[in-house]
């Protein structure tokens, strides 16, 4: 049970008790928490606000702590206390399946592409994003109060079954022209800010530091792969959220190219940095020519590539292909990794081994 917070103002006539009152707007509290999530007593980086889940609901605040643990922060709003407990757990069932690439995309979607998750994490915590992210979660209900039954439900889940759930209460006090907020936890937080003592579930595999996955359209839209295969490049456009992941494909990295609805079509080694398609050259019969002048690039598909607008332009990364296949011969079988993200770290060893073998590459050679 939470300890009630009381505040007195010290005056010459003696202490004057300040009476708590409801905050004028929970939207105002959400704004403050989004700006400074440390108000909850935890050092957090906000990944997204009003994050839509696949079930149609919206998480008020989704955040990460310095250990890479995902935090769901839900305000009670006009929901009944029992409803907000159930809703928070429902959101948690969705969040627990998010991979680091999903969190990176959510961050980009909610921060206008100003920076990526790795850069923001390093700036916030003065350390790189951990290799294992979202192995654990923490669910926090934010309210002015909960009914006794909901208190018991939260305590029962956390203390009897180790569910990482807690509630934090913000009391509003007004003293003449000054406003104060006081914070109280339902359950005692642990010293590191975690409210439960649950062993980590390291569900993510470590990354080998070399291999990336990159998707190039779908099988019914083969042009991007035909251009990539012929000219030795990977491309993305239609907005910075799509092409920014290509920045991680730096020289020396290896890329497994994938076409949606077909499978893996190529393995290549990155040979240069990401560059705008409008400035890229390709070698034709021993001569350097502008990429955009090549006949395979349809006007409809590449009409915006010459634009300097980051939401229109096309970006490319040069690669040396170690092996390629036509789309109709793509490598695919049940259990191989696939994702809708343009580019992400490839951690699945089975996928790496299977695709390497299919392309006849020696697994002992980088």
Q: Which domains does the chain have, with CATH numbers?
A: 7-185 (3.40.1350.10), 211-358 (3.10.590)
Beta bridge partners of 290: 281
Q: Which element (helix H / strand E) includes 86?
A: helix 81-95
- Angstrom distances, CA of residue 30 to CA of 72, 134, 139: 13, 23, 16
Bridge partners of 140, per DSSP, are 73, 166
The phi, psi pair for 240, rounded to 5°, reads -65, -25
Provide the Cα torsion 274, 277, 282, 288; round to 10°: -110
Report the percentage of the chain scoring pLDDT > 90.
30
Give the integer Cα–Cα distance in Å for 171 and 68. 29
Q: How confident is the model at residue 12 (pLDDT cuts 50, 70, 90)?
A: confident
Read off the DSSP letter of residue 327: G
- Banded model confidence at residue 24, pLDDT cuts 50, 70, 90: low
| DSSP secondary structure letter of residue 190 | P
Q: Is the pLDDT of residue 197 over 60?
A: no
Which pLDDT value is given to residue 317? 95
Q: Could you read off the pLDDT of 317-351 as tens digits, one per residue?
A: 999 999 999 999 999 988 888 877 788 888 888 89
Give the pLDDT of residue 299: 67
Q: Is the dihedral of CA 324, 329, 330, 336 positive or negative?
A: negative
- Of the candidate ranges 67-71, 89-93, 243-247, 327-331, the one whose mean pLDDT is the lowest: 243-247
Write the pLDDT tens digit of every residue in 136-185.
899 998 887 667 877 888 888 888 888 999 988 887 777 877 878 778 88
Mean residue pLDDT of the chain comes to 83
Burial of 300 from C-beta contacts in 10 A (0-12 / 13-18 / 19+): exposed
Overall pTM > 0.75: no
Q: Which residue has the higher pLDDT, 99 or 203?
A: 99
Q: Identify the band that residue 272 occupies on the pLDDT scale cut at 50, 70 and 90.
A: very high
Instruction: Identify which has the larger pLDDT, 41 or 194.
Output: 41
Higher pLDDT, 293 or 72: 72
User: Is 112:44 a contact under the CB 8 Å cutoff?
Assistant: no
| Segment 250-259 mean pLDDT | 95
Residue with tokens 């990429």: 291
pLDDT given for residue 195 in this prediction: 43
pLDDT in tens, 302-314: 777 777 887 788 8
Percent of the chain with pLDDT over 70: 87
**95 is written with which tokens?**
């969040």
The pLDDT value recorded for residue 50 is 93
Longest dimension (CA), the chain: 94
What's the pLDDT at 336?
A: 85
């Amino acid at each position: 049970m939470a300890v009630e917070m009381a505040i007195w103002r010290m005056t010459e006539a003696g202490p004057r008790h300040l009476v708590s009152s409801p905050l004028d707007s929970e939207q105002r509290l959400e704004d403050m928490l989004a700006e400074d999530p440390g108000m909850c007593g935890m050092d957090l980086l906000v990944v997204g606000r009003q994050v839509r889940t696949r079930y149609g609901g919206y998480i008020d605040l989704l955040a990460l702590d310095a250990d890479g643990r995902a935090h769901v922060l839900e305000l009670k709003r006009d929901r009944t206390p029992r409803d907000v407990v159930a809703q928070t757990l429902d959101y948690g069932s969705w969040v627990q399946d998010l991979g680091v690439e999903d969190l990176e995309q959510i961050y980009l979607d909610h921060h206008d592409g100003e920076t990526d998750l790795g850069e923001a994490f390093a700036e916030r915590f003065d350390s790189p994003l951990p290799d294992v992210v979202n192995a654990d979660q923490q669910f926090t209900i934010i309210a002015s109060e909960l009914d006794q039954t909901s208190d018991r439900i939260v305590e029962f889940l956390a203390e009897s079954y180790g569910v990482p759930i807690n509630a934090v209460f913000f009391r509003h006090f007004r003293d003449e022209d000054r406003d104060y907020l006081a914070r109280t936890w339902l359950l005692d937080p642990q010293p590191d800010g975690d409210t439960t003592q649950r062993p980590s579930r390291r569900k993510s595999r470590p990354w080998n530091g070399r291999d990336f996955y990159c998707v190039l359209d779908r099988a019914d839209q083969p042009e991007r792969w035909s251009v990539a295969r012929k000219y030795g490049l990977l491309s993305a456009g239609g907005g910075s959220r799509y092409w920014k992941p290509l920045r991680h494909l730096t020289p020396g990295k290896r890329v497994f190219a994938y076409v949606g609805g077909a499978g893996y079509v190529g393995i290549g080694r990155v040979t240069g940095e990401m560059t705008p398609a409008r400035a890229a050259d390709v070698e034709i019969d021993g001569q350097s020519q502008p990429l955009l002048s090549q006949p395979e690039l349809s006007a409809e598909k590449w009409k915006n590539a010459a634009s300097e607008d980051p939401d229109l332009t096309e970006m490319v990364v040069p690669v040396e292909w170690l092996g390629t296949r036509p789309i109709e011969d793509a490598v695919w079988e049940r259990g191989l990794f696939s994702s809708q993200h343009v580019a992400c770290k490839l951690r699945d060893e089975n996928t790496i081994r299977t695709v390497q073998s299919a392309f006849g590459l020696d697994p002992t050679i980088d």
